[in-house]
Amino acid sequence: MSVELLSARLRLRPLGLQDGQALRGDPAVLGGMHKLPRMLDGWVADLLAGESGELTWAVSPRGNRSLNGCLGMLNASLDDDEAELSCWIAPAYRRQGYASEALACIIDYLFEDAQLVGMRGSCYRHNCAAARVLEKCGMQLRGTLQGVARPDGQQGDLLLFSLSRADWQTRRLGLEPVSGPD
Protein backbone atom coordinates (compact mmCIF):
# COMPACT_ATOMS: atom_id res chain seq x y z
CA MET A 1 0.00 0.00 0.00
CA SER A 2 1.13 3.54 -0.70
CA VAL A 3 2.37 5.49 2.25
CA GLU A 4 1.23 9.02 2.96
CA LEU A 5 3.89 11.56 2.02
CA LEU A 6 4.18 15.23 2.91
CA SER A 7 5.99 17.94 1.00
CA ALA A 8 6.29 21.61 1.93
CA ARG A 9 2.70 22.38 0.86
CA LEU A 10 1.13 19.08 -0.17
CA ARG A 11 -0.22 15.85 1.28
CA LEU A 12 0.14 12.83 -0.98
CA ARG A 13 -2.23 10.18 0.34
CA PRO A 14 -3.15 6.76 -1.00
CA LEU A 15 -5.69 7.00 -3.80
CA GLY A 16 -9.06 5.66 -2.67
CA LEU A 17 -11.86 4.06 -4.67
CA GLN A 18 -13.97 7.23 -4.55
CA ASP A 19 -11.01 9.26 -5.83
CA GLY A 20 -10.32 6.84 -8.66
CA GLN A 21 -13.93 6.74 -9.80
CA ALA A 22 -14.16 10.55 -9.78
CA LEU A 23 -10.99 10.88 -11.84
CA ARG A 24 -11.98 8.10 -14.19
CA GLY A 25 -15.09 10.00 -15.30
CA ASP A 26 -13.41 13.41 -15.65
CA PRO A 27 -12.96 14.35 -19.33
CA ALA A 28 -10.17 16.79 -18.39
CA VAL A 29 -8.15 13.83 -17.08
CA LEU A 30 -8.91 11.49 -19.94
CA GLY A 31 -8.26 14.00 -22.73
CA GLY A 32 -4.87 15.36 -21.84
CA MET A 33 -2.68 12.52 -20.64
CA HIS A 34 -0.98 9.75 -22.58
CA LYS A 35 -0.99 6.90 -20.05
CA LEU A 36 -3.04 8.24 -17.15
CA PRO A 37 -6.41 6.89 -18.43
CA ARG A 38 -4.94 3.37 -18.66
CA MET A 39 -3.28 3.79 -15.27
CA LEU A 40 -6.56 4.92 -13.69
CA ASP A 41 -8.38 1.90 -15.07
CA GLY A 42 -5.79 -0.36 -13.44
CA TRP A 43 -5.87 1.52 -10.15
CA VAL A 44 -9.68 1.47 -9.96
CA ALA A 45 -9.76 -2.24 -10.86
CA ASP A 46 -7.29 -2.95 -8.03
CA LEU A 47 -9.35 -0.91 -5.57
CA LEU A 48 -12.59 -2.65 -6.64
CA ALA A 49 -10.87 -6.01 -6.11
CA GLY A 50 -10.01 -4.95 -2.57
CA GLU A 51 -6.33 -4.45 -3.33
CA SER A 52 -4.42 -1.48 -2.04
CA GLY A 53 -4.04 0.46 -5.26
CA GLU A 54 -0.38 0.63 -4.30
CA LEU A 55 1.94 3.33 -5.54
CA THR A 56 -0.84 5.72 -6.45
CA TRP A 57 -1.47 8.96 -4.63
CA ALA A 58 -4.15 11.63 -4.41
CA VAL A 59 -2.68 15.14 -4.24
CA SER A 60 -4.15 17.70 -1.85
CA PRO A 61 -2.93 20.71 0.13
CA ARG A 62 -1.66 19.92 3.65
CA GLY A 63 -4.49 19.94 6.17
CA ASN A 64 -7.04 19.09 3.48
CA ARG A 65 -8.29 15.77 2.05
CA SER A 66 -9.66 17.26 -1.16
CA LEU A 67 -8.67 15.74 -4.49
CA ASN A 68 -6.62 18.32 -6.39
CA GLY A 69 -4.74 15.82 -8.53
CA CYS A 70 -3.24 12.36 -8.66
CA LEU A 71 -0.02 10.64 -9.56
CA GLY A 72 1.36 7.16 -9.69
CA MET A 73 3.41 4.54 -11.46
CA LEU A 74 2.55 2.53 -14.52
CA ASN A 75 4.48 -0.55 -13.32
CA ALA A 76 3.30 -0.46 -9.70
CA SER A 77 4.74 -3.92 -9.06
CA LEU A 78 8.30 -2.53 -9.32
CA ASP A 79 9.25 -5.65 -11.30
CA ASP A 80 11.55 -3.51 -13.43
CA ASP A 81 14.45 -1.43 -12.25
CA GLU A 82 12.68 1.62 -13.66
CA ALA A 83 9.29 3.21 -13.04
CA GLU A 84 7.11 5.25 -15.37
CA LEU A 85 5.39 8.11 -13.59
CA SER A 86 2.33 10.11 -14.52
CA CYS A 87 0.83 13.13 -12.80
CA TRP A 88 -2.37 15.16 -13.25
CA ILE A 89 -3.42 18.33 -11.42
CA ALA A 90 -6.98 19.70 -11.61
CA PRO A 91 -7.22 22.86 -13.74
CA ALA A 92 -8.12 25.10 -10.76
CA TYR A 93 -4.83 24.17 -9.04
CA ARG A 94 -2.44 24.46 -11.98
CA ARG A 95 0.30 27.07 -12.33
CA GLN A 96 0.99 26.93 -8.59
CA GLY A 97 3.88 24.44 -8.64
CA TYR A 98 1.77 21.54 -7.29
CA ALA A 99 2.71 19.10 -10.07
CA SER A 100 6.45 19.78 -9.72
CA GLU A 101 6.32 19.56 -5.92
CA ALA A 102 4.27 16.34 -5.91
CA LEU A 103 6.33 14.64 -8.60
CA ALA A 104 9.63 15.62 -6.93
CA CYS A 105 8.34 14.20 -3.63
CA ILE A 106 7.44 10.88 -5.30
CA ILE A 107 10.73 10.70 -7.19
CA ASP A 108 12.65 11.19 -3.94
CA TYR A 109 10.53 8.58 -2.16
CA LEU A 110 10.94 5.99 -4.93
CA PHE A 111 14.68 6.47 -5.35
CA GLU A 112 15.22 6.39 -1.57
CA ASP A 113 12.88 3.53 -0.65
CA ALA A 114 12.36 1.42 -3.77
CA GLN A 115 16.00 1.44 -4.91
CA LEU A 116 15.09 2.01 -8.55
CA VAL A 117 17.82 2.74 -11.10
CA GLY A 118 15.70 5.07 -13.22
CA MET A 119 12.39 6.82 -13.80
CA ARG A 120 10.57 7.67 -17.01
CA GLY A 121 7.88 10.12 -17.96
CA SER A 122 6.22 11.21 -21.18
CA CYS A 123 3.91 13.89 -22.48
CA TYR A 124 2.56 15.08 -25.80
CA ARG A 125 4.63 17.76 -27.53
CA HIS A 126 1.77 20.28 -27.28
CA ASN A 127 1.65 19.87 -23.47
CA CYS A 128 4.45 22.36 -22.71
CA ALA A 129 3.44 22.60 -19.03
CA ALA A 130 3.89 18.85 -18.50
CA ALA A 131 7.26 18.90 -20.27
CA ARG A 132 8.37 21.76 -18.01
CA VAL A 133 7.29 19.83 -14.88
CA LEU A 134 9.31 16.79 -15.95
CA GLU A 135 12.35 18.99 -16.63
CA LYS A 136 11.99 20.81 -13.28
CA CYS A 137 12.07 17.41 -11.57
CA GLY A 138 15.38 16.60 -13.26
CA MET A 139 14.14 14.46 -16.12
CA GLN A 140 15.92 14.87 -19.43
CA LEU A 141 14.41 14.63 -22.89
CA ARG A 142 15.62 11.37 -24.42
CA GLY A 143 13.60 11.12 -27.62
CA THR A 144 10.33 11.55 -29.46
CA LEU A 145 7.75 9.06 -30.74
CA GLN A 146 5.97 10.55 -33.74
CA GLY A 147 2.34 9.97 -34.64
CA VAL A 148 1.15 8.43 -31.36
CA ALA A 149 -2.64 8.09 -31.04
CA ARG A 150 -4.04 10.48 -28.41
CA PRO A 151 -7.18 9.77 -26.34
CA ASP A 152 -9.09 12.36 -28.43
CA GLY A 153 -8.51 10.31 -31.60
CA GLN A 154 -5.89 12.68 -33.00
CA GLN A 155 -2.23 11.86 -33.42
CA GLY A 156 0.62 13.69 -31.76
CA ASP A 157 4.29 13.46 -31.00
CA LEU A 158 5.17 12.00 -27.62
CA LEU A 159 8.20 13.38 -25.78
CA LEU A 160 10.11 10.76 -23.77
CA PHE A 161 11.97 11.77 -20.59
CA SER A 162 14.08 9.87 -18.08
CA LEU A 163 16.04 10.38 -14.88
CA SER A 164 18.77 8.00 -13.70
CA ARG A 165 19.57 7.35 -10.07
CA ALA A 166 23.05 8.83 -10.63
CA ASP A 167 21.60 12.07 -12.04
CA TRP A 168 19.06 12.25 -9.19
CA GLN A 169 21.84 11.87 -6.63
CA THR A 170 23.92 14.51 -8.41
CA ARG A 171 20.97 16.93 -8.38
CA ARG A 172 20.45 16.34 -4.66
CA LEU A 173 24.06 17.27 -4.05
CA GLY A 174 23.68 20.41 -6.18
CA LEU A 175 26.18 19.27 -8.83
CA GLU A 176 25.92 19.21 -12.61
CA PRO A 177 24.21 16.15 -14.19
CA VAL A 178 26.62 13.43 -15.30
CA SER A 179 24.68 12.12 -18.30
CA GLY A 180 23.23 13.97 -21.24
CA PRO A 181 20.59 13.11 -23.85
CA ASP A 182 21.13 9.83 -25.66
**Per the domain annotation, does 162 fall within a domain?**
yes
Does residue 182 lie within any of the structural domains? no
Residue 129 lies in a domain: yes
21 occurs within a structural domain = yes
- pLDDT tens digits for the chain (182 residues)? 468 999 999 999 887 777 766 776 666 654 455 556 566 666 666 666 656 545 778 899 998 878 888 887 765 555 567 778 888 888 888 899 999 999 999 999 889 887 788 999 988 898 899 999 999 999 999 999 999 887 678 898 999 999 999 999 998 888 765 555 54
Q: Within 13 Å, how many C-alpha atoms sit on residue 78's CB side? A: 13
Q: Please name the residue ranges forming H helices in the chain.
A: 17-24, 27-32, 36-48, 98-113, 128-136, 165-172
Cβ atoms of 1 and 9 within 8 Å: the answer is no
- For residue 143, what are the domain limits? 5-172
| Segment 150-166, tens digit of pLDDT | 767 889 899 999 999 99
> Contact 111/138 with Cβ under 8 angstroms?
no
122 is a domain residue: yes
Domain count for the chain, please give it.
Answer: 1
